[in-house]
Structure 1
């Protein structure tokens, strides 16, 4: 493993390649009873010339519950994707450049996915960033089509050591609990320039 500065340079270079999408998710909770009011507020912003995706981001962030502490995580983890849930899960996906997409979960079927909080706890405990390389498909193997390189899960506090890489294998995008994590050993390839950095995981 290289020094921390070299790792950060490497990660930035990897994010510009064609082999990985790099993003981070923000989870919000929208009360089911408020969905019509939220839609109306979004449409009002669209009516004055704001792009719909940006309008939706603004309204959801202002009026929904951010999943960022113990109480909100408890609410989030209670969501099963059924009509009986009090809240719908809204997912904002960001790249380093800004907003990528919004999953508005119109049918209310999205259920809680608790891995993120567990990984954040690991990051905080070990005072390191944790990167997840995710592979999905029938054989859960890494290839150009099935690999997603996430932005790091950050510790809640000081970063004191080099990042940890985890390989997440699933049988499908809705693996119904079949996801499996393995630690990865990262070895930086030698004799490459920073703009073409590469690492073997």
Structure 2
């Protein structure tokens, strides 16, 4: 699976703008799944699931990752071709579709993250330290607003992705039996108006 796939057609943008298809795509970014498995997840008929899978496959957003035979029936496992998508500059004449496809993916990622939080084990949410320092907690939950130029944001983002790669590589280099799986969802986007009105405390510069 590629890290980033370039979207080169207007039809690809329209396909990603469909709320349900972007939900399917997010599931198939996580792992390969069959039409039957997806129909059980979304509680929809296999026929409807296969229709949407074929549309995603036609526009080269998913592919058949593997096939398995079970009880004489060949099962096809579909998977996203990439972990992320970005529109080619040639699609700039279609800004509405570009914005809507990104918006739908973000919304569906938020909904998927909500489900991951709801299904997290109880121990993941037990904070025993009692510390007022969030960096001491064993989970991460925070929201921020900052003033920055676009150049500032992009420069910081490079450092952020490098930091995530560093965390990912730690267990690859030194595997530990105590290692747990951590799920991250990051969202950084320009907004029209700030919602956080942070007042400075006395003595704070």
What TM-score bracket applies, with the shorter chain setting the length? under 0.3
Could you say which structure has the higher strand fraction?
Answer: 1
- Larger of the two Rg values belongs to structure: 2
TM-score by length of 2: 0.19
TM-score by length of 1: 0.19
